[in-house]
Amino acid sequence: MLKSMTGFGRAENTRGETTITVEIKSLNGKQFEVNLKLSPLLKPYEFDIRNRMQQILQRGTLDATINIRQNGATRPVMVNTELAKFYYQSITTLATELKLPQDDMLNVLMKLPEVVTPATEQIAEAEWLAVQDVLKGALEQLDNHRLDEGAVLEADLLLRIENIEAYCVKVRELDPLRKDRIRQRLEQLLAEYVGKENVDENRLEQELIFYLEKLDISEELVRLENHCRYFKEILREADVAKGKKLGFVLQEVGREINTTGSKANDASIQQWVVLMKDELEKAKEQVLNVL
């Protein structure tokens, strides 16, 4: 079972005159990073909110917004007059320079950030509990979205690895023919430049064995098959956070594919190696999105 790092969750709840809205968008990332936008009343709870998000989501780059809105009779508010004056001076200076109208300036000032704030800097315990419930709902929705995306990723990754295994079988079938071609080429070169009657057959056999051992790819193919098998075993593990582990295994798969291609020294085998590399790159791109 896999989880994607991509997902979206939204939850909203209205109790009395208060509406709580939570929206979270998640993208892939190497660590847990969150851009958190909170209502001023929730600032004291920011650390707790971040911890709750990390416990469930574990990894990824997140944009989260948690908003508390009063629908009817609101709690007492206060006007930050010093900040409003600062905004006013900056806006009027800019308007004068650009020769823009300065009508309805008070309405504009009242809508600017932090000019009007709740008279109290804390919310009641019951409201904080309600925020936790809404946050939990949004996180669960995002997590379910990640699971759905993860199922698609798992199917695609499995296809890529199975394709690599199938190409590996093709390489195994071609390997004996490659060795025969190497032997024939060497014998032909010796006959052409030395003369067939001057060739020491025993020495030739020894040199052929030595040369073919240097070009032998059987160990690389065995390790490649083992890595592919291990990759599929990881996919079946219960742990959902395994993107990094899968990435490490793909690095080993790539190493064996590259060594096979360089040692084979054969055009027909190289064609299958190119196909394996293509599947590997597609798998690597997908693994970047795995939790």
Q: What is the pLDDT of residues 238-270, one digit of tens each?
A: 887 888 999 999 999 999 999 988 888 778 888
| Cα–Cα distance for residue pair 142/8, rounded to 1 Å | 5
Q: How far is CA 261 from the centre of its chain?
A: 29
Q: Are residues 143 and 156 in the same domain?
A: no
Checking DSSP bridges between strand 116-118 and strand 77-79, what pairing results, if any? Answer: antiparallel
The Cα 289–Cα 27 span in angstroms is 8
- Do residues 147 and 7 make contact, with C-beta atoms less than 8 angstroms apart? no
Specify the pLDDT at position 199.
54
Confidence at residue 12, expressed as pLDDT on a 0 to 100 scale: 92
How far apart CA 276 and CA 280 sit, in angstroms, is 6
Tell me the pLDDT tens digit for each residue of 40-64: 788 889 999 999 999 988 889 999 9
Q: Report the domain count for the chain.
A: 3
pLDDT for 266 equals 79
First to last CA, the chain: 11
pLDDT, residue 77, reads 67
Give pLDDT, residue 127.
84
What is residue 231's three-state secondary structure? helix
| Shared-domain flag, residues 44 and 67 | yes
12 & 144 share domain = yes
Is residue 193 in some structural domain? yes
Q: What is the residue range of 36's domain?
A: 7-73+123-148
Residue 1 lies in a domain: no
For residue 264, the model assigns a pLDDT of: 80
pTM: 0.72
Q: Is 267 exposed, middle or buried (0-12, 13-18, 19+ CB in 10 A)?
A: exposed
Q: What is the mean pLDDT of the chain?
A: 84
Would residue 195 be called left, alpha or beta, if left means φ above 0 and alpha means ψ between -120 and 50 degrees? left
Determine the pLDDT at residue 208.
64
Ranges of the chain with pLDDT below 50: none
246/157 same-domain check: yes
Q: For a pLDDT cut of 70, what percent of the chain falls above it?
A: 83
Q: What is the pLDDT of residue 90?
A: 82
* pLDDT tens-digit series, residues 90-109: 888 877 877 777 777 777 77
Question: Could you tell me if 182 and 246 lie in one domain?
Answer: yes
- Name the DSSP letter for residue 76: P
- Torsion of Cα atoms, 111 then 114 then 118 then 123, to 10°: 120
CA angle 24, 25, 27 (to 5 degrees): 145
pLDDT of amino acid 144 = 92
In this structure, is residue 116 part of a structural domain?
no
Enumerate the H helices of the chain as residue ranges. 46-57, 81-98, 105-110, 125-193, 201-214, 218-236, 243-264, 267-287
Residues 13, 59, single domain; the answer is yes
Residue 90 backbone class (left: φ over 0; alpha: ψ -120 to 50; beta: rest): alpha
